[in-house]
Chain A
Amino acid sequence: MGIKIILDNCTGCKKCMTGCPFGEIEVIEKKALVKEGCTLCGACQEACEFEAIEVDRPALQSTADLGKYRGVFVFAEQHDGELRSCTLELLGAGRRLADRLGQELAAVLLGDEVEGLWQNLVAHGADKVYLADHPTLGLYQTESYAAVLTAVISKYMPSIFLFGATTTGRDLAPRLASRVNTGLTADCTSLEIEAETGLLLQTRPAWGGNIMATIKTANDRPQMATVRPNVMKKPTPDTGREGEIIPIPVSLDPKGIKARVVEVIKNHDWSVQIEEAEIVVAGGRGLQNAENFEVIESLAKTLGAAVGASRPVVDSGWKAHSHQVGQTGKTVQPKIYIACGISGAVQHRVGMESADMIIAINKDPDAPIMQIADYAVVGDLFQVVPELVKELKSRRKKGESAI
Chain B
Amino acid sequence: MRIVVCIKQVPDIAEMEKMETDPETGNIIREGLPAILNPFDEYAMEEAVSWKERNGDEVIAVTMGPPQAEDALIKCLSMGADQAILLSDRQFAGSDTIATTWTLAGAIRKIGDVDLVLCGQQAIDGDTAQVGPMLAENLHIPQITYVSRLVLEGKYITTTREVEDGYEVVRCKLPALVTVVKGINIPRVPTYNSLSEAMDKEIPVWGAEDLDIEKDRLGLPGSPTAVTRVWTPESRSQGQVLRGEPSELAKQLAEVLLNPLQN
Asked if A392 is an interface residue, CB under 8 A from chain B, the answer is yes
Across the interface, name the chain B residue whose C-beta is closest to A210: B16
- Measured as residues with beta carbon below 8 angstroms from the partner, the interface class of chain B is 35 or more
B86 to chain A, nearest CB (A): 23
Residues on A with beta carbons closer than 8 Å to the beta carbon of B253: 359, 375, 377, 384, 388, 391
A343 to chain B, nearest CB (A): 13
Instruction: List residues 104-120 of chain A with CB under 8 A from any CB of chain B.
Output: none
Asked if B181 is an interface residue, CB under 8 A from chain A, the answer is yes
Q: Is the CB of A321 within 8 A of B130?
A: no
Residues on A with beta carbons closer than 8 Å to the beta carbon of B242: 375-378
Q: Which of these binds chain B: A234-242, A247-255, A257-265?
A: A257-265
**What sequence of 0s and 1s flags, for each residue 126-138 of chain B, a beta carbon within 8 Å of any chain A beta carbon?**
1111111110111
Residues on B with beta carbons closer than 8 Å to the beta carbon of A322: 162, 183
Asked if B26 is an interface residue, CB under 8 A from chain A, the answer is yes
**What sequence of 0s and 1s flags, for each residue 201-238 of chain A, a beta carbon within 8 Å of any chain B beta carbon?**
10001111111111111111000000000000000000
Residues on B with beta carbons closer than 8 Å to the beta carbon of A181: 98, 224
Q: Is the CB of B127 within 8 A of A376?
A: no
Alpha-carbon distance A390/B14, docked complex (angstroms): 38
Q: Is the CB of B124 within 8 A of A215?
A: no
Q: Which of these binds chain A: B50-58, B59-67, B73-81, B233-241?
A: B233-241
Q: Is the CB of A370 within 8 A of B223?
A: no
B40 to chain A, nearest CB (A): 7
Asked if B249 is an interface residue, CB under 8 A from chain A, the answer is yes
Alpha-carbon distance A365/B232, docked complex (angstroms): 26
A146 to chain B, nearest CB (A): 8
Alpha-carbon distance A100/B225, docked complex (angstroms): 22
Asked if A133 is an interface residue, CB under 8 A from chain B, the answer is no
Across the interface, name the chain B residue whose C-beta is closest to A186: B128
Asked if B250 is an interface residue, CB under 8 A from chain A, the answer is yes
Residues on A with beta carbons closer than 8 Å to the beta carbon of B252: 375
Instruction: List residues 240-263 of chain B with CB under 8 A from any CB of chain A.
Output: 240-244, 246-247, 249-254, 256-258, 260-261
Alpha-carbon distance A201/B226, docked complex (angstroms): 10
Alpha-carbon distance A381/B98, docked complex (angstroms): 47
Asked if B166 is an interface residue, CB under 8 A from chain A, the answer is yes
Asked if A183 is an interface residue, CB under 8 A from chain B, the answer is yes
- Asked whether A264 and B260 contact (CB < 8 A) given A215-B225, A216-B228, A384-B250, the answer is no
Alpha-carbon distance A386/B132, docked complex (angstroms): 44
Asked if A179 is an interface residue, CB under 8 A from chain B, the answer is yes
Q: Which of these binds chain B: A4-12, A66-74, A87-95, A328-336?
A: A328-336
Q: Is the CB of A170 within 8 A of B145?
A: yes
Q: Is the CB of B249 within 8 A of A214?
A: no
Q: Is the CB of A79 within 8 A of B165?
A: yes
Asked if B96 is an interface residue, CB under 8 A from chain A, the answer is yes
Asked if B164 is an interface residue, CB under 8 A from chain A, the answer is yes
Q: Is the CB of B137 within 8 A of A178?
A: yes
Alpha-carbon distance A184/B143, docked complex (angstroms): 18
Instruction: List residues 147-202 of chain B with CB under 8 A from any CB of chain A.
Output: 148, 158, 161-173, 176, 181-183
Alpha-carbon distance A6/B260, docked complex (angstroms): 63
Asked if A401 is an interface residue, CB under 8 A from chain B, the answer is no
Alpha-carbon distance A103/B158, docked complex (angstroms): 44
Q: Is the CB of A383 within 8 A of B246?
A: yes
Q: Is the CB of A375 within 8 A of B239?
A: yes
Asked if A395 is an interface residue, CB under 8 A from chain B, the answer is yes
Q: Is the CB of A346 within 8 A of B133?
A: no
Asked if B13 is an interface residue, CB under 8 A from chain A, the answer is yes
Q: Is the CB of A387 within 8 A of B249?
A: yes
Q: Is the CB of A376 within 8 A of B21?
A: no
Instruction: Please pick, from A143, A272, A273, A329, the residue contacting B142 in the complex, using a CB distance under 8 A.
Output: A143
Q: Is the CB of A395 within 8 A of B258?
A: yes
A contact set with B: CB distance below 8 Å = 45-46, 59, 79, 142-143, 146, 166-168, 170-175, 177-179, 181-187, 201, 205-220, 258-267, 272-273, 275-276, 303, 314, 320-322, 324, 327-329, 335-336, 346-347, 350, 353, 357-359, 365, 370-380, 383-384, 387-388, 390-392, 395
10 contacts between A and B (CB under 8 A): A170-B130, A171-B146, A174-B128, A184-B98, A205-B233, A217-B226, A220-B224, A259-B176, A303-B257, A370-B241
Complex A-B, nearest 6 residue pairs according to Cβ-Cβ distance, in ascending order: A183-B224, A321-B183, A387-B250, A186-B128, A183-B225, A374-B239
